[in-house]
Amino acid sequence: MGEIELKEKKTGKARRISLNRACVEAINGWLKARPKDVEDKDALFTGQRGTLTVETIHKLVKTWCKEINLKGNYGSHSLRKTFGYHQRVTFGVGIPELMTVFNHSTQKQTLAYLCVQPEEVKSVYLNQL
Tell me the per-residue pLDDT of 37-95, one tens digit each, with 9 for 90 and over: 778 778 877 878 888 888 889 999 999 999 999 999 999 889 999 999 999 989 999 99
Residue 129 pLDDT more than 90?
no
- Percent of the chain past pLDDT 90, that is, above it, reads 40
pLDDT at 12: 83
Same domain, 81 and 36: no
User: For 67, phi and psi rounded to 5 degrees?
Assistant: -60, -30
Could you tell me if 57 and 110 lie in one domain? Answer: yes
Q: Is 57 exposed, middle or buried (0-12, 13-18, 19+ CB in 10 A)?
A: middle
Query: Per the structure, how many domains does the chain have?
Result: 2
The beta strand positions in the chain, using DSSP E, are 2-7, 14-19, 46-47, 50-51
Residue 128 is predicted with a pLDDT of: 66
Q: What is the pTM of this model?
A: 0.72
Domain holding 39, by residue range, is 1-46
Q: Same structural domain for residues 71 and 124? A: yes
Q: Mean pLDDT across the chain, nearest whole number?
A: 87
Using the Cα atoms of residue 22, residue 24, residue 29 and residue 35 in order, give the sign of their dihedral: positive
Both 62 and 78 in a single domain? Answer: yes
